[in-house]
Amino acid sequence: MFWGHQRLWKCESVRLRGVLPNIKISSCVLSEHVRHKHQLSFKPYVPPCYTDHDQKNMTLKRPMSPHLTIYAPTLPAMTSILQRITGSILTFYALLLSGGTLFLSNGVETYVTIIQSLDLSRMSLFVIKILLGAPFCFHYCNGMRYCMWTLGKMLAMKDVYDTSYKSMVAAAVLSILFALL
C-alpha cells in the first residue's frame, strides 16, 4: 500500500551490451495495472508567450496600481518632497557658486557692481533675496525636524503635523530675516 493505492511494480534485470557488458542494472517499472484515484495525464512544459506586465494585467482584468495623482497630498509627504527639492536647489547653488569662482575672470566685486548698476527697487531686491534664501531656510528647518526623528522623538502623527507647521513657519521667518539684512 502506498498512500492508500495498490501499485504493482514489475522489476527485471537489464544487462548493458556493448559499452559495459559485465554490469547488470535492475530497473523497476510501474506496470500498466496501476489503479489511480485521479486519472492524471502529464504533458511536456510549454512556456507561455511573453507579455509585458501591463498587458498581462489588462488581459486578466486587474486594476492598475494607484498613482500619486489619486491620493490627496498630505503635509508630511509634501514637506518630504520639498526637502528633496530644496536640497537639489542648494546643490545647484553650490555648483553655480563654485563654478563661478573657478571660471569667471573678474572678482566678486565686479558682479556686485553690475547688480547695483541695474537700479533695482528695494522691494524687488527683497523678493529676490527671499527667493534665493527660502530654499536654504526651509531645508535647514526641515532638516532639524528629521534630526529629531532620528533621535526617536516626535514620531506620533500629531507631532509630525505639528513639526511640519513649525518648520514651515520657522523657514518663512528666517527667510524674511535674512532678506532684511
pLDDT for 100? 85
Nearest to 142 by CA among 51, 81, 64, 58: 81
Q: Report, as an integer, the average pLDDT of 31-59.
A: 77
Beta carbons within 10 angstroms of residue 42's beta carbon: 5
Fold of 75-180: 3 helical TM bundles of succinate and fumarate reductases (1.20.1300)
Is pTM beyond 0.85? Reply is no
**CA–CA distance, 36 with 40 (Å, rounded to integer):** 8
Residue extents of the structural domains in the chain = 1-36, 75-180
